[in-house]
Structures are given as structure tokens and as C-alpha cells.
Amino acid sequence: MSERHTPRERAFWSIGILVVLLYALIPVAWMLSLSLKKPEQVADRKFYSGISFKNYEVIFSDDTFLRALVNSIGIAAIATIISIGLAAMAAYATSRLDFTGKTVILSGALAVAMFPPISIVGSLFELWRTIGLYDTWLGLIIPYMTFTLPLAIYTLSAFFREIPWELEQAAQVDGATPFQAFRKIIVPLAAPGVFTAAILVFIFAWNDFIFANTLTSTDNARTVPAALAFFTGASQFEQPIGAISAAAVVVTVPIIIMVLIFQRRIVAGLTAGAVKG
Amino acid sequence: MEAASTTETRTATPPAKKGITDRAKAERKLAWMLCAPAVIAMLLVTGWPILYALYLSFQRFDLRFPDQKEFVGLSNYSDVLTSSTWWSDVWTTLIITVVSVSIELVLGMLIALVMHRAIFGRGPVRAAILIPYGIITVVAAFAWKYAFDPTSGFVAGLPLISDTAQPLNTKAGSLLVIILAEVWKTTPFMALLLLAGLALVPDELHEAAKVDGASTLQRFFRITIPLMKPAILVALLFRTLDAFRIFDNIYIIQPGGALGTESVSILGYNVTINRVNVGLGSAVSILIFICVILIAIFFVKALGTSTAQQRGEEA
Amino acid sequence: MLSACGSSEGGGGARSINWYVFNEPGGSYDAAVADCNKQAGGKYHINYVKLPTDANQQRELIVRRLAAKDDSIDLIGMDVIWTAELAQAGWIEPWEGERKAVAEKDKLSGPLKTVQYKGKTWAIPFTSNTQLLWYRKDKVDKPPADFTWDEMIDDAVSKNTAVEVQARQYEGLTVWINSLIAGAGGQIVDQNADVKVDDSAKKAAEIESKLANSKAAPPGMSTNAEDQARQGFESGRSDYQVNYPFVYPSAAMVGKDFQKNMGWARFPRTEKDRPSRPPLGGINIGVSHYSKKRDLAFDAAECLAQPKHQAIAAEKGGLPPTTQSVYDTPTVKKAYPFADVLRASIEAAAPRPVTPAYSDISLAIQKTFSPPDGVDPSNIVSKLRDRMDKAAEGKIF
């Protein structure tokens, strides 16, 4: 690829990249600008009206938002770990082993991925209430873990299929124990795939709104998306635009950082999941 | 691929059918043991609630009057299917689905091309494109809602939009904002699926076509698109199923499905959670599920014929 | 149970009373809770458990948990429209005997009506709310006592200004339509909670349609709630608004005599010769049927709803009192220069339909009267009747 690129080509691609960047960042920039406005400036329709951190003070002035953050991070993390664990086992089986029912399981997983959440929140509410899981971490972890299993299984299968498993046998022939072979050869090869799947699963759980809204009722388990409903403005009727914007920024910045650091892996994971065909 | 490895196994291990069956059996047992936890989780968490919803859908059951619960057969279904609200909501949902998925396809393809062929800056583009993917959906929905707010949004301050023609004041405008929010959020996912498909198109075909004098557009439509068909169909399948189930964006941007933006999921929410009429709401939920299955069947069939066609062409 | 561990709300101690109510931003509910805990001297301890800001979401959460027979709810800060629904379902306890007397003592008749259903009293009124007509003294004339909606719209059009209302498809729309209908002497449900739509609905639709299609329609009329209406008035775009009293202290921050130029009057009439029936809001305190400490809960509720706490709520939260005598206290007189109009409005206010199926009915009204510029008065009555019948029968509408 040693073509030299004409200035026109460079200009063309520069514009394209700029457009993509604008596309991605305009809503984020708007939320940032709203979060830095003073209450009386909120209605001025401008992007920049000076900087005030009042809104950030407000959202951290009581426990609600902090606890929601803790809940979101904790629930998403645990759901991710469990989901990856279960999915890795299933993905190993479906990509490496031969058995009847493989298609059934994979199709079933696909079916689960297609479920309209609204169809089951009502029933889950009743069920959780009876068992005692309503408004608990476990009550959210279980549905999150389940709905991310299909995504995780497909992604991991695609990765596992790329691993040259013969290397493991070769290492054993060379004198390594099965466990050593597994640890030194397979794990490093599988790690990127597992890592990628974990990020995808985490983002899915982090994002959910409808389960969090219905299956929680106190800050025991309420995650950030559901907690946004509890922000108030200065009066009973005032829209808490400033507070919600500040919360939005707080919750988005880590995602942006994470995405910047791990963008290669996430892209690899999503495209691998598609190649499975 | 699996067939090849099984044949290898068969030739590697000498006859004695009993040994093979044992080995195959052991493999199968291991496989099922490994899959069991995942399968059990999926069955319990989705299977049981959907069966319970099915059961409830045959009851007249309002949480406010628990003693009046009674079996009414299919009357909930007939009520839903004969109400104009259900059908107009299906129509609204279809409009949102078709429009947003179409836009996502085109936009996603363009972004995929940028990511694939850009001569520099692929890193920033990839990172940028993942931001919409990583942001919480309701957070983004708030961003769009506030951006279009007639009183305080920056869109309202743009010179092109008069005070009386605010998008969020009309049904068409609101649908556009909702579609915009939906497209913004999920195009990255579509772009990445398409990128994977793009990567499979061999460069040699393009080179050969260039030598033959084909223009860029011709190459795109005659080589790239046909070879990408499976990837495109998979992307369409996933996105259409997702789009049909749209909820978060409407809930935030036009709460309650105001101004005629009610989708089927919002209707389900209004009946089940707001009116706590769980019998009727379960019927709505089951019907939504059936719609999704129908869409999936449609795409899987299309995918099947396309793959068969491809195989036929290659053979 | 997992949910009880280390929670900052809803403690399960033998004497803790959990009060589920919206988060009052002015701090007056916090003050009431603190004061009662002090007064109780250990007999009980009230936990202020905050509900979502949106009234719809508050109701959804409460109803969901009561339907689940949740015993961690002791007291409920009930929106005035929940009484029939919660009472019919058997989720709240009636106030009887002595407690009934305490609940009803010296209360304004509007709020009193909102705690009564089927001949019993189901909660103690705490704070109230109503809407007044606010206008720019420097821009328009003082409205006469029998000012009607038609006249106001015509005046706004002639002066090139707008009238701020709440016409988004949400509960606020029901509030407005209900007052318009009541102002025409009509009703939506009758005493037996049966649907009884009459031609007054047509009159309401005419007013809504007239405003929406006139030059006096505020931009964003079909998406405006209370706060946008306030902003529209404060920006000078509209010289009339109907809104709750929270707009008065807010106007002080607009600067430069804005508040001085703010006039107030009673909610406009639907018909020239019939006094208006202003909207009625507010919070009543009810005792949950599933509470394990009902007697303590009743005591706590009586303490919370005391006149002195109502005065604090008026001062800090802008929430009008429900007890008559409180209107004469200096605190309230200072907080509300318009105390007389306020009290008269609450006395004459029109409660929204009293029926267990209220949320369904309200949804039906919202759907029928939306969007404001698409309402057709000629077929509104039949449309409304049809929808409300379906709503009451628990069908899709």
C-alpha cells in the first residue's frame, strides 16, 4: 500500500472522519453544556453559557446517585463474570465438541436474544416478589446474565473457533501437563476473546432500563438509569435538566475512557460475532 | 468444519464401533454438562416468565381487584386484536422499525467503508463510533429530548426552526426525533457488523474489476454488496428485532407514547405496569412476542435462501 | 432478607415507620419528619423514603408494592387522585372514630372531599394545591371577577401575547380539562363512580381547540407541562398563565421587578355566569393495610399533618395548607400575598373523578384531548364516552 495519497483524497477522508466524530459527539457535548449551566441559563438554548459546577454538587449532595452508581457497577460486574463463565463453557462445547442438540441450543440462545423484555417483566416481578428477590442485586443480576448469554456465547464461539487447539496437544507431547498446556497456551489465546465478550456483556447490563425500573423500588438495587427518575429540580414541578445532565456526564465519561482504551478489542469482538454467520 | 474433525476422529481411532460410541458418548456428556448451566439459566429466566405470561393472558386479572381473577379464555386476545389502538401501535412500531433500520443500513455502510478504507485516522473513528454504543440508552434519550425541547433545546434556537414548528409538538416530528435517537445509538453496532462483512470481500476481485475498467460505484454494487449479503442479512435481522422492541427512547422522549408515538412495547407497559391489568397486558406481551418470532422467521428464511443461492453460485 | 441489609431507607425496626412520599425539594417534609421524631420521643421513628419525582411513576411504584402486599410500607404520601383506587383495593386503612375526627377537623372542603370515598374517610389531608391565573400587570388589564377563557384568549390575541397552559399528554391535561368541564357544571363520573360524560366535555374541547388554533397558543403547547409554562411566562412570551403557586417565588429570581408586575386572579370561568372550579392537587397521608404497626402509623400521620407543619410546607415548599386556620398565621400570610384567592380557590376547587379506575379514566381523557390543535369538539363527547367505557371495563383503548 505505498500509494501516495493526493491532497484531494486526504481532504475527502478528513471530512468523512470529521463527520463521524461530530455524529458521535454532538449529544454528549450538549449534555456536557447543559450540566455546566446555571439553573437560570438552562432555557437559553445556547451551547456555551459559562461554567458552573452547581449541578455536580447537587447530584452528589445526597446518597441517591452514589448508591445508584455503586449498584450499577456492582450488578453489571457480577452479571458479567457469571455470564462469561457460563458462556465460556457453553461456547467451548459448541465450538469444539460434537453433539446432538447443538443447533437447538444455539437457536434457543438466539430466541432468548429476541425476547421483548416487556413480555417478561410483569411475570418476573411476580416471581421475584414471591421468592424474595424483588429489589435485590440478585434480582437484577439473573435477568442481565441471561439476556447477555446469547451475545457472549456467540462471541466466544467465534473466538474459540480461531484457536489452534492442536497446540495444546503438541505442548503435552513436549512434556507439559494438561493444566500447564492449558494455562500457557490456551489461556493467552482465549483471553482476548473473553475480555472482549466481557466488555460487551458489561455494556449491555450497564445500559438496561426496563428491568431496573420494574424490579427495584429502593436504592438497595436501583441502578443509574432507574435512579434518574428520582432527581428533582428546585420545585416540585421543575424539570431537573441540570441534575440529569450532570449525572449523564458522570456516567458517560468512564464509558468514553473505557472505549478509548479498549476500542480495538471491542471492534474485534463485535466483528467476530458477526463472522460466525 | 465439525464434520471434517469427526471424520478425522473416525480414521484416527481404529474400528471397534463400541470405542467410538463410548468416546462420542463421553464427548456428548461433557458437552451437555458444559452447556447445562447456561441452558438452565436461559430456560428459567425466559421460559418460565413467558409461560406464566401465557397463563395470565387467559385470565381476567387486575392487580387492584385480585379476588375477581377468572378464566376468560381468548377474550383478552380478541379485545386486543379488535382494538384500533393495537393496530395503530403496530403500524407506528413498524414505521419506526423500517425507517430506522433503513437509515442505519445506509449510514452503517458508509461508516463501515470509512473504517475499512480510510487512509488515516481509523483509530479515532473506531473510538468515536463506539461512544454511542457505550452510552446508556436513557442517558442519550435525555440528551436528545433536551436538545429538541421547545423551550430550552439548542435545536429550537437554530434559525431554521420557527417557534411554532417544533418537532416535539407533532406526531411526525416526535417520531423523527425518536428515530434519530434510535439511529444514533445503534448505527455503530450495524456499522461493525457490516465491517466484518466488508473484510471478507477479497481485494483481488476489486483489482481484477479495476483492470477490467469497472468504476467505483459499479464495483460497489456488483461485487461488494452481493458478497456481503449474508452479513447484511444478519445485521438486518438483529437490528430489526431490536428496533421492533423499542421502548427506552419513546419512554423518555415522549412519555406514555404521547402524540401518537405509542409503540407496542409502550402499550404493553401502559397496560401491565401503569393500569396493572396484568391479564390484558400479558396478552399484549404474548402478541408482541409472536410478532418478533414472525420477523425472525422472515429473516432466517431470507438468510437461508441467500446462503443456498450463494452456495449454488459457487458450486 | 437481602433488601434489609445496610439500607439507608425503609428500616425494619420495631418502631420505625416508613413514609413513602415524593421528594419535596424545599425541605419542608424533612422538617416535619424531624420534628415528629423529636416529639415522639422514641415512641416511633419516621423514615422519609423518597419516591420518584414524576407523579405517574410514584403511583406505579406504590401500586406495584401494595399489590405485592409489601409490609415495609407504613405511610403513603398519596396524591389526591389515588384515594378511590387504593381504598377499593383494600390497600389503605379507613380513619374511624376519633381518628376520623382528627383527620377532618377544620379542613377546607376541597381537600376533605379528596379523602372521602363510599362514605368513609381514608387519609388525613396534609398539603393542597390549586392553580391561579397569573398575569402581567404591566401588560394586560386586571381581569374582572367573571373573566372567562374565551375572553382571555381573545384578549391575548388582540395584545399579541400567549396564554400558558399545560396541554401535554399527561395528567396535567386531565387537570385542565376536568376544571373546564366542572366549570360548565358538568362531570365525568357520578357519585357511584360510573362514567357519565355529558355535553360539558364539548365546551371544554371548544376552549382547548380555540386556544390551540389561535395566535395565543404558546409554542410547545402540546409538550408543555407546569415548568415550561412558567418559563414561557417568565420569558415574556406569554402575559397570561394558569399555574400552581410555585411560580410566584420563582419570579423573584427573574430580577428587576418581575415579581412586582405579577398579578393573580382566580382560575378563569368556563361559562360567564358560573363560578370557575379551579384544579385541585395535594398530598394526603394514608396508612397502608399491610403495615405491621398500624396504630403507630396513625399517630405518626396525625403528627405529620399538624397545622404547624402545614405552615412550614407553605413557607418552604410553596404548598398551600389544608387546614383553614393555617391561612391566618403570619408565616402563611407572608408566604402568600394571594392567600385569600388561594383559600377561596381551594374551597371551590373541583376534585378529579373519584373512581377506583381513575388512572384508566385519566389515560382515556388524555388520549381523547390530544393533540390540542387536533381536537374536534363536534365528536368529542362520543369519542370520550366510548374510550371511558372501555377504560372502565378494563379493555384496550
Can you give the three-state secondary structure of C34-46, one letter per residue? HHHHHHHCCCCEE
Q: Answer whether residue A37 shows pLDDT above 90.
A: no
Distance CA C301, CA C315 (A): 20
Which one, of A257, A21, A22, lies nearest residue B121 by Cα?
A: A21
pLDDT of residue A45: 74
Report chain B residues whose CB lies below 8 A from the CB of A108.
Answer: 39, 42
Residues 6+ apart with CB under 8 A from B144: A27, B177, B180, B181, B184, B249, B253
3-state secondary structure of C89: coil
Give the end-to-end CA distance of chain B in Å, rounded to a whole number.
Answer: 18
- pTM for the model stands at 0.87
User: Closest chain C residue to A217 measured between Cα atoms?
Assistant: C61
What are the chain C neighbours of A230 within 8 Å (beta carbons)? Answer: 23, 50-53
Cβ <8 Å between C246 and A236: yes
Residues of chain B contacting A126 with CB distance shorter than 8 Å: 52, 278
pLDDT at B20: 62
Scan residues 171-230 of A and list those with Cβ closer than 8 Å to C: 214, 217-221, 229-230
Q: Are A129 and C1 in contact (CB under 8 A)?
A: no
ipTM (interface predicted TM): 0.85
**Mean pLDDT across the stretch C251-265?**
88
Measure the CA–CA gap between B140 and A102, rounded to whole angstroms: 38
Nearest chain C residue to B65 by CA distance is C89
> Per-residue b/e over B101-110, b at no fewer than 16 CB within 10 Å?
bebbbebbbb
For residue B4, is pLDDT > 50?
no
Higher-confidence position of C112 and A100: C112
Per-residue pLDDT band at C59 (split at 50, 70, 90): very high
| Rg over CA atoms, chain B | 25
pLDDT of residue C219: 82
- Asked if B34 and A210 come within 8 Å (Cβ–Cβ), the reply is no
For the ranges A24-28, B229-233, C152-156, which has the lowest average pLDDT? B229-233
Determine contact, residues C346/C333, Cβ cutoff 8 Å: no
* Other beta carbons within 10 Å of C180: 28
Note the pLDDT of residue B306: 61
Contacts of C48 (CB under 8 A, 6+ apart): C19, C21, C29, C30, C33
Structure confidence by residue, pLDDT tens digits, B238-267 = 889 889 999 999 999 998 888 889 999 999
Q: In chain A, which residues have their Cβ closer than 8 Å to the Cβ of C226?
A: 237
Confidence of residue C205 (pLDDT cuts 50, 70, 90): very high
Do residues C332 and C245 lie in contact, with contact meaning Cβ atoms separated by under 8 Å?
no
Highest mean pLDDT among A144-148, B296-300, C182-186, C331-335: C182-186
Looking at the DSSP assignment, which residues form a beta bridge with residue C241?
A: C134, C164
- Map residue C240 onto helix, strand or coil: strand
CB A237 to CB C50 under 8 A? Answer: no
Is-contact B219 B210, C-beta < 8 A? Answer: yes
Average pLDDT over residues A10-31: 86
Q: Which residues of chain B does C222 touch, with a Cβ-Cβ cutoff of 8 Å?
A: 169-170, 259
- Report in angstroms the alpha-carbon separations of A67 from A219, A224, A243, A255, C99: 6, 9, 16, 18, 39
Q: Under an 8 A CB cutoff, do B142 and A228 touch?
A: yes
B271 touches chain C (CB under 8 A): yes
pLDDT digits (tens, 9 = 90+) for C325-334: 999 999 888 8
CB pairs under 8 A between A and C: 81
Give the closest of C25, C61, C68 to A236, CB-based: C25
Q: Which of the two residues, B182 and B304, has the higher pLDDT score?
A: B182
Looking at the complex, report in whole angstroms how far the Cα of residue A126 sits from the nearest Cα belonging to chain C: 8
**How would you label C330-352 residue by residue, b for 16+ Cβ within 10 Å and e otherwise?**
eebeebbebbebbbebbebbbbb
Using the Cβ of B84 and the Cβ atoms of chain C, whether some distance falls under 8 Å is answered with no
Note whether B152 contacts A42, CB cutoff 8 Å: yes
Classify the C-alpha dihedral B160-B164-B165-B169 as positive or negative: positive
Report the DSSP beta bridge partners of residue C77.
Answer: C285
Judged by CB atoms closer than 8 Å, whether chains meet at B274 and C370 is answered as: no
- Nearest-CA distance from A43 to chain C in Å? 8
**Nearest-by-CA chain B residue for C84:** B64
User: Is the model's pLDDT at C74 over the cut of 90?
Assistant: yes
- Is residue C73 a contact partner of residue C288, using CB atoms and an 8 Å limit? yes
Q: Do A63 and C8 touch (CB under 8 A)?
A: yes
Give per-residue pLDDT as tens, C339-392: 999 999 999 999 999 999 899 999 999 999 999 989 999 999 999 999 988 988
Whose grid coordinates read 386479572?
B61
The Cα-based distances of C43 to B285, C32, C37, C103, C296 in angstroms read 48, 16, 8, 21, 8
Mean pLDDT, to the nearest integer, of A189-210?
A: 84
> What pLDDT score was predicted for residue C1?
36
- Closest Cβ–Cβ partner in B5, B139, B193 for A251: B139
- Burial of residue B227 (CB within 10 Å: 0-12, 13-18, 19+) is middle
Contacts of B265 in chain A (CB under 8 A): 116-118
How does residue C33 score in pLDDT terms, banded at 50, 70 and 90? Answer: very high
pLDDT of residue C350: 93
Q: Which pLDDT does position B310 carry in this prediction?
A: 57
Q: Which of B28-37, C121-130, C212-221 has the highest mean pLDDT?
A: C121-130
Over the stretch B96-144, which tens digit does the pLDDT of each residue have?
A: 999 999 999 999 998 888 888 777 777 778 888 888 888 899 989 998 9
Q: CA torsion sign, A148 to A151 to A157 to A163?
A: negative
Query: How do strand C162-164 and strand C238-243 relate by DSSP bridges?
Result: parallel
Residue A2 pLDDT exceeds 60? no
Residue A177 has pLDDT above 90, yes or no: no
Percent of chain A residues past pLDDT 90, beyond the cut: 14
Residue B181, all three cell numbers: 435517537
Whether B209 has a pLDDT exceeding 50, the answer reads: yes
Contact assignment for C53 to A40 by CB distance below 8 Å? no
Instruction: Return the closest-CA partner of residue C176 out of C217, C146, C207, C145.
Output: C207
Chain C nearest CA to B89, separation (Å)? 11
* Unique residue bearing C-alpha cell 458522570: A250
Subunits with 3+ C-beta pairs closer than 8 A to B: A, C
Note the pLDDT of residue B103. 95
Give the number of beta-carbon pairs within 8 Å between B and C.
Answer: 93
In whole angstroms, what is the distance from residue C147 CA to residue C267 CA? 9
CA nearest to A155, candidates A259, A266, A272: A272
Considering only the beta carbons, identify the residue of B83, B150, B171 that sits closest to C219.
B150
Q: Would you state the pLDDT for residue C153?
A: 95
Contact A90 B35 (CB under 8 A): yes
Does the distance separating the beta carbons of C49 and A219 come in below 8 Å? Answer: no
- Please state, in angstroms and rounded to a whole number, the distance separating the CA atoms of residues A28 and B131: 9
**Chains touching chain C, criterion 3+ CB pairs below 8 Å:** A, B
Comparing A44 with A116, the larger pLDDT belongs to A116
Contact (CB, 8 A) for B289 and A115: yes
The answer to whether B41 contacts A28, with C-beta atoms less than 8 Å apart, is: no
What is the distance, to the nearest Å, from the Cα of residue C86 to the centroid of all Cα atoms in its chain? Answer: 17
Q: Which residues from B are below 8 Å from A263, CB to CB?
A: 123, 126-127, 130
Q: What is the end-to-end Cα distance of chain C in Å, rounded?
A: 40
Under the banding of pLDDT at 50, 70 and 90, the label for residue B72 is very high
- In whole numbers, what is the pLDDT of chain A averaged over residues? 82
Q: What is the DSSP letter of B270?
A: I
**Chain C residues whose C-beta sits inside 8 Å of any chain A C-beta:** 1-3, 7-10, 22-26, 49-54, 57, 61, 64-65, 68, 225-227, 230-231, 235, 244, 246, 250, 253-254, 317-319
Q: Which chain C residue shows the shortest CA-CA distance from A128? A: C68
Cβ neighbours of residue C167 closer than 8 Å, sequence gap 6 or more: C173, C176, C208, C212, C221, C222, C224, C369, C370, C372
Q: What is the mean pLDDT of chain B?
A: 83
Residue C279 has pLDDT above 90, yes or no: yes
Residues of C in contact with A214 (CB under 8 A): 64
Interface test with C, best of A141, A211, A220, A236 (most C CBs within 10 A): A236
Indicate the pairing of strand C281-287 with strand C75-79: antiparallel
Please give the pLDDT value at position C21.
94
Q: Determine whether the interchain pair A237/C246 forms a contact, defined as Cβ–Cβ distance below 8 Å.
A: yes
Q: What is residue B216's predicted lDDT score, i.e. its pLDDT?
A: 78
> Do the chains contact at C3 and A237, CB–CB below 8 Å?
no
Closest by CA position to C283, among listed C47, C58, C80:
C80
